[in-house]
Chain A
Amino acid sequence: MSKIPILLLFKRALIEIPFVFFAILMPFFGEGEKFSIFGVMVYREGLLAGTSIVVKGTLGVLAAVILSTTTTAREILRGLEKLKLPMIMVQIASFMLRYINVISDEMERMKVARESRGFIATGIKHWKVLATAAAALFIRSYERGERVHLAMLSRGFDGALPSLDSHSVTTREWFTALSIPGLALIASITASLIGW
């Protein structure tokens, strides 16, 4: 469960960089009180705001990366169900998970069929073709939805999907799950003790 290589975690967390880029610049611009760190002049206001963005961002990204690395999409759905997300939304998400591959395969086949007849999208004049293809894909998916519903009715569907079975949570899993919020708590207590 918690055996994610640190390197992998780090790599996936890199996605954060573009978002914190401006936060890193913040201490160097602004107005008001200035002071120097290692000989570099920085603005107090900017430093505080920038640090706060980087910390929040990093914690958020780490939490998301850990959730997606340790938990399958299905487990996440189960979790949402347990957290009392409305049933209909869980069901929609579950259908999306099931059919995303089917529909992307269909899209790929349509692309191959277009290109086999010499079509390569290069610019704005080809958008019309792409838009038509998107519309065709939409209609096909809609019709598939109708057929799926028919198949569900044929097997006695009356509005409620079986709830997903879930296993009980161990103490260890609780500790793993609480580690990030714990870190966040320690960070904020430390911050308030230092007097920021």
Chain B
Amino acid sequence: MSNVPSLQITELAFAYPDGNQALYGVNLTIQKGERVALLGPNGAGKTTLVMHMNGIHPTMQGEVRISGELVDSKNKESLKAIRSKVGIVFQDPDDQLFMPTVGEDVAFGPYNMGLRGEALDKVVQEALTQVGMLDFIDRPPHHLSFGQRRRVAVATVLAMKPEILVLDEPSSNLDPASRRELADILRSLDITIVMVTHDLPYAFELCERSVILSGGIIVADGKTGQILNDEKLLKSHRLELPVGFSFN
């Protein structure tokens, strides 16, 4: 088990029905427990890639494996298992939190996985405790602050005990304190993390390794510090560190 990578993507290519090709042969392997930042300019295909990880987009060419298991969007049963292994936290928490209360929303995923009764309650409480939001279990989501909603959104996928946590722009719209709180939470989780982001300092803070996706292929893969120090590389893929920011 220990040698099976959490995520293994080989030669993945994808074109939208209108002929617009988004991915041109992506190869990416992420080991268990790694935290990897997926960087890239707008329109690089980051979201398309993420949508392949849990079979929302059917694989056209190449393959995606989650801890060894092939993502096959035609096989309903295996797809269900895959979706419990890959937890995606979407950018807008209002899209993710659709149930009347925080507790019910966190219960949604594990419920679909077949958990009921006490076992379900326990999982919900654990997940909310992990993000420090247990006190809000009976609140409706629209009464929470944006940062709190983002944390609950993380809990909704943690409750499914995923093998790999995928976050789409986790730091967007967060105030500095919420941003740090979320970083602390993410660091405390013993789980494989893929973080899609434009926030390069945040990537540096949380992820040892970074990959750059640009024009539908992986153009760089290495230590975050090295990649972010390579100004030429960043610039050629429309990435820039904030003004006055440097790594030494």
Contact = CB atoms under 8 A, between A and B. Distances in A.
Interface stretch (B7-15, B64-72, B103-111, B240-248): B103-111
B83 A156 contact: yes
Contact of A98 (B86, B141, B157): B141
Contacts of A157: 108, 112
Contacts of A74: 100-101
A155 B156 contact: yes
Interface stretch (B30-38, B87-95, B183-191): B87-95
B109 A156 contact: yes
Contacts, number: 72
A9 to B, nearest CB: 26
Contacts of A148: 95-96, 98
Nearest to B88: A154
Contact of B112 (A97, A102, A150, A158): A158
B114 to A, nearest CB: 9
Task: Give the interface SS of chain A, mostly helix, strand, loop or mixed.
Answer: helix
Given A94-B100, A98-B99, A144-B95, A156 B141 contact: no
Interface size class of A (residues with CB under 8 A): 20 to 34
A79 to B, nearest CB: 14
Contact of A154 (B83, B92, B98, B99): B83
A127 B235 CA distance: 47
B1 to A, nearest CB: 23
Contacts of B140: 98
A101 interface: yes
A147 interface: yes
A156 B84 contact: yes
Interface string B144-186: 0000000000001100100000000000000000000000000
Q: Which 3 A-B pairs have the closest CB atoms?
A: A156-B112, A155-B109, A147-B95
Interface of B: 54, 56, 80, 83-84, 86-88, 90, 92, 94-96, 98-101, 104, 107-109, 111-113, 140-142, 156-157, 160
Interface of A: 74, 77, 94-95, 97-99, 101-102, 144, 147-148, 150-158, 161-162, 164
